[in-house]
Amino acid sequence: MRYSELFGKTSRDFPKEEVAKNAKLLLRAGFIDKLMAGSYTLLPLGFRVKEKIENIIREEMDKTGAEEILMPLMHPKQIWNETKRWEYAKDVMYQFKKDDKEYALSFTHEEVVLDIVRKRLSSYKDLPIKLYHFSTKFRNELRAKSGILRAREFLMKDLYSLHASKEDLDKYYFKVAEVYIKIFERLGLKARMVEAPGGVFTENITHEFQVLAENGEDSIFYCEKCDFGQNKEIAKVKKGDKCPKCGGLIKEGRSIEVGNIFPLGTIYSEKMGIYFADKKGEKKLAWFACYGIGTTRVIGALVEVLSDEKGIVWPKEVSPYEVHLVGLNHKAEGVYEKLKGNKVDVLFDDRDISAGEKFADCDLIGIPIRLIVSDNTQDKIEWKERIGEKTELLTIDEVLTRLH
Amino acid sequence: MRYSELFGKTSRDFPKEEVAKNAKLLLRAGFIDKLMAGSYTLLPLGFRVKEKIENIIREEMDKTGAEEILMPLMHPKQIWNETKRWEYAKDVMYQFKKDDKEYALSFTHEEVVLDIVRKRLSSYKDLPIKLYHFSTKFRNELRAKSGILRAREFLMKDLYSLHASKEDLDKYYFKVAEVYIKIFERLGLKARMVEAPGGVFTENITHEFQVLAENGEDSIFYCEKCDFGQNKEIAKVKKGDKCPKCGGLIKEGRSIEVGNIFPLGTIYSEKMGIYFADKKGEKKLAWFACYGIGTTRVIGALVEVLSDEKGIVWPKEVSPYEVHLVGLNHKAEGVYEKLKGNKVDVLFDDRDISAGEKFADCDLIGIPIRLIVSDNTQDKIEWKERIGEKTELLTIDEVLTRLH
Q: Is residue A55 domain-shared with residue A197, that is, in the same domain? A: yes
Would the CB atoms of B73 and A116 count as touching at under 8 Å? no
Chain A interface, mutation test: which of B74, B110, B115, B126, most A Cβ atoms within 10 Å?
B74
Q: Is residue B239 domain-shared with residue B101, that is, in the same domain? A: yes
Q: Is residue B260 domain-shared with residue B189, that is, in the same domain? A: yes
Q: Is residue A153 domain-shared with residue A273, that is, in the same domain? A: yes
Question: What is the CB neighbour count within 10 angstroms for residue B333?
Answer: 13
Kindly tell me if the per-residue pLDDT of A144 is higher than 90: no
Q: Is residue A338 domain-shared with residue A272, that is, in the same domain? A: no
- In sign, the C-alpha dihedral spanning A219, A190, A174, A111 is positive
d(CA B218, CA B240): 19
Q: Is residue A252 domain-shared with residue A387, that is, in the same domain? A: no
Kindly tell me if the per-residue pLDDT of A157 is higher than 80: yes
Q: Of A245, A279, A306, which marks where a domain is finished?
A: A306
Would the CB atoms of A73 and B153 count as touching at under 8 Å? yes
Q: What is the mean pLDDT of residues A1-14?
A: 93
Would the CB atoms of B73 and A40 count as touching at under 8 Å? no
CB contact at 8 A, B368 and B386: yes
CB-count burial class (<10 Å; 0-12, 13-18, 19+) for A337: exposed
Among A9, A72, A136, whose Cβ lies nearest the Cβ of B39? A72
Q: Is residue A280 domain-shared with residue A327, that is, in the same domain? A: no
Looking up residue B31, the CATH number of its domain turns out to be: 3.30.930.10
Least confident of A196-205, A358-367, B115-124: A196-205
Q: At what angle do helices B44-63 and B166-186 cross, to 10 degrees?
A: 140
Kindly tell me if the per-residue pLDDT of A72 is higher than 90: yes
Q: Is residue A344 domain-shared with residue A273, that is, in the same domain? A: no
Would the CB atoms of B69 and A75 count as touching at under 8 Å? no
Rounded (5°) CA angle B184-B185-B186: 90
Among A72, A120, A155, whose Cβ lies nearest the Cβ of B35? A72
CB contact at 8 A, B365 and B306: no
Low-confidence ranges of chain B (pLDDT < 50): none
- pTM for the model: 0.97
Summary count for chain B: helices (H), strands (E): 11, 21
Q: Is residue B108 domain-shared with residue B58, that is, in the same domain? A: yes
Among B41, B105, B131, whose Cβ lies nearest the Cβ of A71? B41
Would the CB atoms of A96 and B97 count as touching at under 8 Å? yes
**pLDDT of the residue at A292:** 98
Write the pLDDT tens digit of every residue in A268-281.
999 999 999 999 99
Give the nearest chain B residue to A67 (CA atoms).
B44
Write the pLDDT tens digit of every residue in B135-185.
999 999 888 889 999 999 999 999 999 999 999 999 999 999 999 999 999
Would the CB atoms of A112 and B9 count as touching at under 8 Å? no
Would the CB atoms of A69 and B7 count as touching at under 8 Å? yes
Is residue B316 assigned to a domain? no
CB contact at 8 A, B115 and B79: yes
Q: Is residue B277 domain-shared with residue B347, that is, in the same domain? A: no
Distance from the A69 Cα atom to the nearest Cα atom in chain B, whole angstroms? 5
Domain of B166? 3-306
Residues of A in contact with B131 (CB under 8 A): 7
Of B53, B21, B23, which is closest to residue B295 (Cα–Cα)? B53
Q: Is residue B339 domain-shared with residue B222, that is, in the same domain? A: no
Looking up residue A370, the CATH number of its domain turns out to be: 3.40.50.800
- On whether ipTM exceeds 0.95, the answer is yes
User: Residue A284, SS3?
Assistant: strand
Q: What is the mean pLDDT of residues A46-60?
A: 98
